[in-house]
Structures are given as structure tokens and as C-alpha cells.
Amino acid sequence: MSETLKAVAELVRRQTGVVVNDTQLPALAAALGRIAPGMDAERFVAETKRAPKGPLLHALIDEVTVQETYFLRELRELETIDWHGLLTAAGERGFGVIRLWVAACSTGEEAYSLAILASEAFGRAAPPVTILATDISKAALARAEAGSGYSERSVRNLSPHLRARYLLPEGAHFRVKDQLRALVRFRHHNLIEDSSPPPGEVTFDVVCCRNVLIYFDLPTVGEVLGSLETATRPGGRLILGAADRLSGTAGGLARAVTSPTVERPRDRRTRSLRRPLGLDSGPRRRSEDRIEDALLAANQGDLDGAAEIVAVLLAADPTLADAHFVGGLVELESGDPHSAAASLRTALYLDPSFGLAAFELGRAHDANGDSRAARRAYGQALRTLDAADDRHRAILDQIDLGDVAAACVARLRSNQGVTL
């Protein structure tokens, strides 16, 4: 591929944060061809030099940004929002409403989902909330503001009751009712270039930016996280996507993985660790219970207590892959990626099909600065993640294996020249 096409890829990265590596250049060339007849890299570069922020650039942004979303996506995270507690806190600061910002809102489903949840929580059609929804794609924003054209797939998580209350059928599609649209306002905003909170806005009680950071390189992740935290009021809630949390290194997302919540305060050193299964019933049942105890201790910020439980388990049976896996997680979140890598390698030696152990090993190698080893581990994770393996579902609890795979791909894409 031409150097000019690589220059277009670099422009995309600077404007959107989305990394386009060498293996994706053919797809980028095809995207150029879709935005205008006969458009290629050379012509695009020439025309954007004359109009750097013109319609051609916005058309390419619409092509390369991912618009995959649906109503009530990753619902469990949204269900933890303490609406009444947030309203009380807002009142104490002199505000009569809860302020929310949905960054990278795509075609609007996330913003409208929050409006639905707020309406249900307060039991009225006009709950005390105001939602700002922003996106870099003007085409996506136009669809979101219209609040129509939502497919059956997009609304599949909405119960018949919620559909009847908040949506209107339009042929084979659905339109959001005016009462819901009134709660959301839309603005164009670039997470990479624009200030946060957006100009003219004050800080927000809740900031949602879900499954966006996985498409950025690690330096950009850090910059965007910093700006999102600036936009979140002290004691407010920053909600990231499952794949975003998984794609970080031990340091990269540490400060945002457990954003403060009214209802679930945690030590900010830890991330949500889930229960690994895969242990046999019978004699090993007690070991499984102890592993669950270790994870509970870690979730409560007691990393030393979790490590002690793991040590007792391994002293009794050094072949427990699950125990080595949990030990590696605890070491990684304790800021010891070298020990974590050793523990996770042992888990994989004992069980080479342990895809989640391979993924966490990649995180450990990333934290150690060994990008080559990290790529090998992420590749192994992609080859061995198995939706039929109940261990993975139990470990992550609310995180889909597709999110783990997306996080693997994102980390691989952040390294130039990697073939997926």
C-alpha cells in the first residue's frame, strides 16, 4: 500500500484516536472509495489540505468509526446507577436534576437507554435528569437526534412492556417517543480534540463512555481518560465498557476501572475480579469455595488477604490452574506484573486452553513493556477463548467473551505490523 494511504491512516488516528494498522489499509482504501466516486488516498490528501475540516474528512470519519450499539447494552452496569442517591447529591449542590453525559453516543441507543432507566427509577415520564449525548460522527448524530429507524436487533433487549411505553412502531422499525427524546440533547464532540466537559457545560454526575477506548492506542487512552475524569464531578460516576476495562494494562486504566459509586464503594487499586470455575466437584469443591473467597477479598481491596488464600491453596495443590490464575490477577492489580506473568504462565502450562489466562498474561507483558510477548499471549487468547467453556462465563460474570476478544484485537492493533 502507498505511503499516501498510510498518511490518511495517520490523519484518522490524529482526528479520531482510531488506530489503522497496515493490515487494515485495504479496508481504509475501500472506505475512501465509498465517500466519493473515484476517491483515493492521493486525492483525499490533496483535497483535505485545502479544507482540513471539510465534509470529506467528516465523511471518512463516518466510515471508519464503529457504530455498533443497541438498547440496554451491558445492562448490569447501568442497573447499578443509584438514581435517587444521585438526585439527593445534586440537590445538596444546588441542582434540581441529575446531569449525564454519554460520550461517543453513536446512533443514540445508549442515551435513550439511560433515559428509560431514569424514567423507570422515578416512576414518571419526565424524570429529573438531563442527558447530553455527543459523537464525532455527524451522520450518527443525525440518526440519534431523529430517534427513529431502530431495528428489531437494536431493541431486542427491551421487554414488550418497555417497548410499548417508550417506542412507537414504524413499519419494520421503531421510533423513540417524544417524552424520551425530550430528556436528551445532542452535540458534535471529538474526544481527541475537544475539551471535556464540552464547551459551555459543567461537570456531570454520570459520564458514560463505553466500548470506545478499545479502538485507541494506549497514549490516547490515557489522555481521553484524563479528560473524562475532569468532566466527572467529585464523587460522580465514570462508566466504561467491559471491553474498555479489559483492554487496559495494569496502570493504564487503574484509576478508572472502579470509578466511585454511591452504592458500591471500593478500593481504587482493584478491578472487578470474577469467580473462576472449571474446578471439579467432590474433593475440589472446597478449593473452589476458597478461590471465591480470594476473589471477594480482592474485590474489597484486601489484596494481601487474597494472596494469602491463594498461597494456602497452592501449598495444598500446586496444580490448581485457577489458583495460579487468581494469584496472577492479584499480583497484576498489586502493581507486580513480573510476578503476575510467572503465575499466569503457570496457569497456562497447567491448562493450555485457558484463554482468559492468556489474555491476562498479555496484560502483564504489556505492563512489563514486552510487546512481542504480549502479542503472542493475545494471539493465544483469541485462539483458545471458547464460549462453551463455563469457566470463562463464571469468571467474568457480566462480561461477554466477545468483549474479551475485542480487547485482544485492540491490543494487537496497537502494535504496528501485526497480522490478526
Query: In which residue ranges of the chain is CATH 1.25.40.10 found?
Result: 282-413
Tell me the C-alpha distance between 340 and 329, whole Å. Answer: 7
Structural domain 282-413, CATH architecture = Alpha Horseshoe (1.25)
**Stretch 133-156: mean pLDDT:** 93
The strand pair at 129-135 and 98-102 is best described as parallel
How many CA atoms within 13 Å lie on the side-chain side of 222? 6
**Sequence-ordered list of residues with C-beta below 8 angstroms from that of 376, at least 6 positions apart, any chain:** none
Q: Which region, left, alpha or beta, applies to residue 417 given φ > 0 means left and ψ of -120 to 50 means alpha? A: left
Residue 264 DSSP label: -
Mean pLDDT over all residues of the chain? 81
Record the cell numbers describing residue 273, joined without a space. Answer: 475480579
H or E element in which residue 185 lies: strand 184-188
Q: SS3 for 3?
A: helix
Window from 235-239, 242-246, 331-335, 336-340 with minimum mean pLDDT = 242-246
Give the H or E element holding residue 238.
strand 232-240
Rg of the chain taking only CA atoms, in angstroms: 23
131 forms beta bridges with 100, 184
Tell me, what's the pLDDT at 299?
Answer: 57
CA 285/CA 297 separation, integer angstroms: 19
What whole-number distance in Å separates Cα of residue 44 and Cα of residue 52? Answer: 10
- d(CA 131, CA 322) in angstroms, rounded, equals 42
Highest mean pLDDT among 255-269, 279-293, 373-387: 373-387
Beta strands in 3-122 (DSSP E): 98-102
Q: What are the DSSP E strand ranges found in 193-293?
A: 204-209, 232-240
Residue type, 96: G
Q: What is the pLDDT of residue 102?
A: 97
pLDDT band at 8 (very low <50, low <70, confident <90, very high): confident
**Nearest CA-CA partner of 134 in 45, 222, 196:** 196
How does residue 74 score in pLDDT terms, banded at 50, 70 and 90?
confident
For residues 405 and 243, is the Cβ–Cβ distance under 8 A?
no
CB 106 within 8 A of CB 135: yes
**Residue owning grid cell 489499509:** 25
- Supply angle C-alpha 322, 325, 329, rounded to 5: 140
Q: Which residue has the cell 489540505?
A: 49
Contacts of 109 (CB under 8 A, 6+ apart): 69, 70, 71, 73, 150, 154
More confident residue, 59 or 22: 59
Comparing 182-186, 332-336, 405-409, which segment has the lowest mean pLDDT? 405-409
pLDDT tens-digit profile of 267-310? 333 333 333 333 344 444 577 778 878 876 765 667 888 899 99
CATH superfamily for domain 75-257: Vaccinia Virus protein VP39 (3.40.50.150)
Sequence-ordered list of residues with C-beta below 8 angstroms from that of 251, at least 6 positions apart, any chain: 335, 367
- Give the model's confidence band at 340: pLDDT under 50 very low, under 70 low, under 90 confident, else very high: very high
* pTM for this predicted structure: 0.66
Angle between helix axes 41-50 and 55-64 (nearest 10 degrees) is: 130
Nearest to 188 by CA among 231, 220, 144: 144
DSSP state of 198: P
Across 339-392, where does the E strand assignment appear?
Answer: none
Backbone angles phi, psi at 197, to 5 degrees: -65, 160
- Helix segments in 123-194, DSSP class H: 138-146, 160-166, 178-181
What integer pLDDT is reported at residue 414 of this predicted model? 62
**And the C-alpha cell for 284?**
475440589
pLDDT at 69 over 60: yes
Where does CATH 3.40.50.150 sit in the chain? 75-257
Mean pLDDT of 62-77: 77
Best-predicted range by mean pLDDT (57-61, 148-152, 364-368, 405-409): 148-152
